[in-house]
């Protein structure tokens, strides 16, 4: 039985390496971001919480303004739901959910490390009158998914700025 287990584990290891799978390395962020203050309107927002977790995993320590070597400002973090189509019964048939984020990073002296950047993601959702509860859950899921996607993109942009500087 142990030979079969060993063979299975070796096979899985070979498959993972053959497909190009690699563990994610530490984030290559600008060195000034080692001690960062997060400047946002809502600390409990899904996107803000996720960005904080991703950056902490990358080695960033969040501190107050007196200790900060960098400031990550997210002045715009908006989710907008707009109507796309209306049915012949004058009821909404499709929505578009758009999440827009603007951010920049400055150092302790106020010099821009990363100038203001804008990122936007959108998803469309069909509204079914027969399944109002399911549609509402799907809308919340899409908002969460957009925040997750944008948080990963934001950290990726920060990483690319770090690798370009060093």
Domain 2-165: homologous superfamily in CATH? Lipoprotein like domain (3.30.160.150)
Contact yes or no for 149/121 (Cβ under 8 A) = yes
State how far the Cα of 114 lies from the Cα of 85, in Å rounded to an integer.
39
Q: Identify the CA nearest to 165 among candidates 3, 32, 26, 5.
A: 32
Q: If we measure between CA atoms, which residue out of 146, 159, 160 comes closest to residue 50?
A: 146
For the chain, what are the domain ranges? 2-165
In a 3-state reduction of DSSP, which class is residue 55? helix
- The pTM assigned to this predicted structure is 0.75
**pLDDT tens series, the chain, 166 aa:** 577 766 677 667 767 666 554 444 455 788 999 999 999 999 999 999 999 999 999 999 999 989 999 999 999 999 999 988 887 777 777 889 999 999 999 999 999 999 999 999 999 888 766 666 566 688 888 999 999 999 999 999 999 876 665 5
């Amino acid at each position: 039985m142990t030979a079969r287990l060993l063979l299975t584990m070796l096979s899985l290891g070979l498959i993972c390496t053959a497909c190009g799978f690699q563990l994610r390395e530490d984030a290559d962020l600008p060195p000034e971001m080692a001690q960062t203050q997060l400047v946002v309107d809502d600390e409990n927002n899904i996107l803000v919480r996720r960005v904080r977790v991703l950056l902490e995993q990358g080695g960033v320590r969040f501190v107050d303004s007196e200790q900060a070597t960098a400031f990550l400002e997210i002045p715009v973090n908006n989710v907008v739901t707009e109507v796309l189509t209306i049915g012949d019964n004058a009821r909404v048939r499709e929505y578009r959910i758009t999440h827009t984020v603007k951010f920049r990073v400055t150092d302790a002296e106020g010099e821009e490390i990363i100038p203001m950047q804008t990122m936007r993601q959108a998803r469309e959702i069909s509204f079914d009158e027969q399944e109002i509860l399911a549609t509402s859950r799907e809308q919340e899921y899409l908002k969460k998914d957009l925040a997750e996607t944008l948080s990963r993109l934001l950290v990726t942009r920060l990483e690319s700025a770090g690798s370009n500087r060093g």
